[in-house]
Copies of this chain bind each other. A is one copy, B any other.
Amino acid sequence: MKKAASAAKPAGKPAALEETSSSERKHEAIVEAAKDLFLRGGYLGTNMDEIAALSGVSKQTVYKHFASKEALFIEIVNSMTNTAGDTVHNQIPELEEGGDVASYLVDYATRQLTVVLTPPIMQLRRLVIGEVGRFSELGKVLYERGPERAINMLAALFERLAERGVLATHDANVAASHFNWLVMSEPLNRIMLLGDEAIPKAAELRRHAKEAVRVFLAAYGQKPVRRRPR
C-alpha cells in the first residue's frame, strides 16, 4: 500500500521531497525483502547481503536505514504485529444500544482469529519463539504489540460494557485475558505445532468463536440484577 502511494507521487515535486520519497521507497523495499527472507530462512539463516540484493539497494544503504540485522528484524516484528493489531482493534464501532452482545463479541473474536491466524504471522511467531533464548528483545516486542495490546484493548472495551450493564466483570483485565485466550489459544497452539495447514477455514473459525463467546458470557454475561453504574 505504501509502495503504491509513494510510486504515485505527483510530477514536479521539489527535490527535497523527491529524496525523502526515494529514501522511503528504499526503506519499504528493504523491509519487504527482509520479511520474505527472514520468514523463509529464519533469523540466523538470513544475512544483510541477501537482504540488500533482494531489495535492489547496496549493503551500505541497508545499514543507513537499519543499524544492524537485529534492528531490522525488530522493525519487522513490530510492524507486522502492529498492522495486525490495528486491523483487529482500531476503529471498531461500539455495541449499539440494545444490540446483541453475543453477536458483537463473536464478530470481534472472528476478526481477531481471521487477522492473526495467517501464514506470515504464524511463521513470524514461530521464528520469534525459536529465537527467544538468544534474542529476547524479539519476543518482548511481539508480546507487547500482540497479546498484551489485545488484552488491554479488550479490557477497555469490557469496562465500557460493564459500565453500561452489559457485562459483569470484577476485573476487566482478567476478563480480557480469559476472552483473548478462549478465542485464540486452541487454534493458535495447534498451528504453532502442526504448521500452517492447521489454520482453520472461515466457517470453523466462526464456530470456534461462538463456543468461546458462549463460555465467556456464562462467566461474564449480564446478571439478572443490574450493577449500579460506577
A residues contacting B by CB (< 8 A) are: 42, 123, 126-133, 136, 139-140, 142-143, 146-147, 174, 177-178, 181-182, 184-186, 188-190, 192-195, 211-212, 214-216, 218-220
Contacts and interface: CB of A to CB of B under 8 A. Distances in A.
A132 B195 CA distance: 6
A116 to B, nearest CB: 12
Total identical chains: 2
Contacts of A132: 126, 192-195
A81 to B, nearest CB: 11
Contact of A182 (B146, B181, B211): B181
Contacts of A127: 130
B178 A182 contact: yes
8 contacts: A132-B193, A132-B195, A136-B195, A140-B194, A143-B193, A181-B181, A181-B182, A181-B189
A178 B212 CA distance: 8
